[in-house]
Chain A
Amino acid sequence: MQGSTRRMGVMTDVHRRFLQLLMTHGVLEEWDVKRLQRHCYKVHDRNATVDKLEDFINNINSVLESLYIEIKRGVTEDDGRPIYALVNLATTSISKMATDFAENELDLFRKALELIIDSETGFASSTNILNLVDQLKGKKMRKKEAEQVLQKYVQNKWLIEKEGEFTLHGRAILEMEQYIRETYPDAVKICNICHSLLIQGQSCETCGIRMHLPCVAKYFQSNAEPRCPHCNDYWPHEIPKVFDPEKERESGVLKSNKKSLRSRQH
């Protein structure tokens, strides 16, 4: 990587503003990213043609390479929405959080992470996490305080909460996959299709292999008789639909109203 002769991209204010805003948000869905890109062009280079998003990002990534960071694209585990985040390439710990959170708060995250990885569903209940409050390193934390800290993690998009249970946000998976696989090599689950880290997914009841929901959707698309790719047994779960950005927009799920988009970030 050092001193490579690969041609490096060029940064203009369009790219800089894009980077700044992506950093502010931490993680963005593809639709928002495209909008952001158009916004940056409008502000700094009105008459230029907007680059294809993939090329635009590859250009920026070639510049970011020497800083050991990159804009990474992933997919949400529950419904297959594409997301983008700026991630550390060289990290071997949860270093990005380290300056935002105190020692006991980081340890709370670590405890929650372990429960999530060990769980069957990929979710850890609030109760189970809070019961570990006494084991935390650093300053003593009360359960009430821990509840607030968990909310802070949700707000900063490291955790997702659903009905009192917590799982990893897509951003955390993008950012920490390498760390998680290195730290918990025996406990991690891997998707049989894409071979990436799996937190939530479906599993074959016969042979136990697992697949992400979006991977299931793609693999069994328009297949009337879905069968396990490993043991060929009948696949017993409901097959989700493949994510279709056009359909999303039609149904009005993505709000075009700027104000509500802003408040959604919190």
Chain B
Amino acid sequence: MLQTPESGGLPVPQAEGEKDGGHDGETRAPTASQERPKEELGAGREEGAAEPALTRKGARALAAKALARRRAYRRLNRTVAELVQFLLVKDKKKSPITRSEMVKYVIGDLKILFPDIIARAAEHLRYVFGFELKQFDRKHHTYILINKLKPLEEEEEEEDLGGDGPRLGLLMMILGLIYMRGNSAREAQVWEMLRRLGVQPSKYHFLFGYPKRLIMEDFVQQRYLSYRRVPHTNPPEYEFSWGPRSHLEISKMKVLGFVAKLHKKEPQHWPVQYREALADEADRARAKARAEASMRARASARAGIHLW
């Protein structure tokens, strides 16, 4: 996937606040200096302000510089495009993506420009696909993509032709079981429920593949489920709870609604879980309001220092 490095200086990282992907290439004119790897704000200007009258040699040198700049810029754009594709493909598998993976498979020796590259990739993902690139774990530099498109209504969901249907349905059953049992369920209980649905852990299922692998490996790796040993149990027992991704992607109220529908009852039929779901909704609304407020504050701050 990586191209061989070309001669010529690396382009200067874009000024803070530039958020327009790779579309308007010509408005940016990075310097081609190799001795100064990074410049701060305002470095985007062409450095030709004080050039003397051009000799033929001078013109050739300038043309060579311009060509090198364009090549380097194209290379940067290619890398951003490759990173976007890499993130999309990786996210399809739902496993979080680490910075080191990105550097290893896509960015390579442009590593020093990682912040700029990832910012531009994030902008493409947002504008073109409607995904937000979220840093999932600050310590380990892992990222996931979150769908920013509005969630679908009931009837709309049917039409969505989603490809992941059965597996996510299975996940919902497990999340439901976990929630109704007070936010954790023993491994034995999960398999018991699945057996009642005709799903054996190690027998190949035409919809789920190998259920044991799907649940114990895929769902856990994708952070939909957490799998922990129950302390003080001998022989050791294990339990499932919601993983961090489940908390991000779905709400307790939605899962309760799903369970209620299965039993042909109203969510209020389970007062304890219903109250808990209401509290969860309130928390989410508060968190959303806070996030929106801080985003507005940041946007107005950025507008304040916008130089162009």
Contacts and interface: CB of A to CB of B under 8 A. Distances in A.
Interface of A: 2-3, 8, 11, 13, 16-17, 19-21, 23-26, 32, 35-36, 39, 42-44, 63-64, 66-69, 88, 90, 93, 95-96, 99-100, 258, 261-262, 265-266
B259 to A, nearest CB: 21
Interface of B: 1, 21-26, 70, 73-74, 77-78, 81, 84-86, 88-90, 92-93, 124, 127-131, 147, 149-150, 152, 156, 158-166, 206-207
A55 B156 CA distance: 25
A228 B116 CA distance: 58
Given A90-B81, A99-B90, A21 B23 contact: no
B162 A24 contact: yes
Nearest to B204: A148
A43 B156 CA distance: 7
Contacts of A23: 88, 92, 129
21 contacts: A2-B73, A3-B24, A3-B25, A13-B130, A13-B150, A19-B128, A24-B162, A24-B164, A25-B161, A39-B159, A67-B81, A68-B78, A68-B81, A88-B85, A90-B78, A90-B81, A93-B1, A95-B1, A99-B93, A258-B158, A265-B163
Contacts of A258: 158-159
A13 B148 CA distance: 9
B81 A262 contact: no
Contacts of B25: 2-3
A17 B149 contact: yes
B131 to A, nearest CB: 8
A19 B129 contact: yes
B162 A262 contact: yes
Contacts of B206: 266
Question: Which of B22, B23, B73, B160 neighbours the largest number of chain A CB atoms within 10 Å of its CB?
Answer: B160
Nearest to B206: A266
Given A3-B25, A39-B160, A258-B158, A66 B127 contact: no
Contact of A24 (B24, B85, B128, B163): B163
A141 B255 CA distance: 41
Q: Which 10 A-B pairs have the closest CB atoms?
A: A16-B130, A3-B25, A3-B26, A67-B81, A24-B163, A68-B81, A39-B159, A66-B22, A99-B89, A2-B25
A100 B74 contact: no
B160 A96 contact: no
B128 A36 contact: no
Contacts of A19: 128-130
Contacts of B26: 3
Contacts of A35: 159, 161
Contacts of A93: 1
Among B93, B128, B156, B161, max chain A CB count under 10 A is at: B161
A23 B26 CA distance: 31
B129 A20 contact: yes
A68 B199 CA distance: 43
Nearest to A152: B209
Contacts of A25: 161, 163
Contacts of A32: 161
Contacts of A21: 160-162
A39 B153 CA distance: 12
B147 A20 contact: yes
A2 B70 contact: yes
A96 B88 CA distance: 10
Contacts of A265: 161, 163, 165
Contacts of B74: 2
Given A8-B23, A13-B149, A42-B156, A36 B130 contact: no
A13 B165 CA distance: 22
B161 A20 contact: no
Contacts of A63: 128
Given A67-B84, A95-B1, A99-B89, A11 B161 contact: no
Contact of A100 (B89, B124, B131, B147): B89
Contacts of B81: 66-69, 90
A217 B25 CA distance: 46
A13 B172 CA distance: 27
A39 B73 CA distance: 39
Contacts of A17: 130, 149
A266 B78 contact: no
A42 B160 CA distance: 11
A20 B166 contact: no
Contacts of B77: 2, 66
A193 to B, nearest CB: 33
A68 B128 CA distance: 13
Contacts of A16: 128-130, 149
A99 B128 CA distance: 22
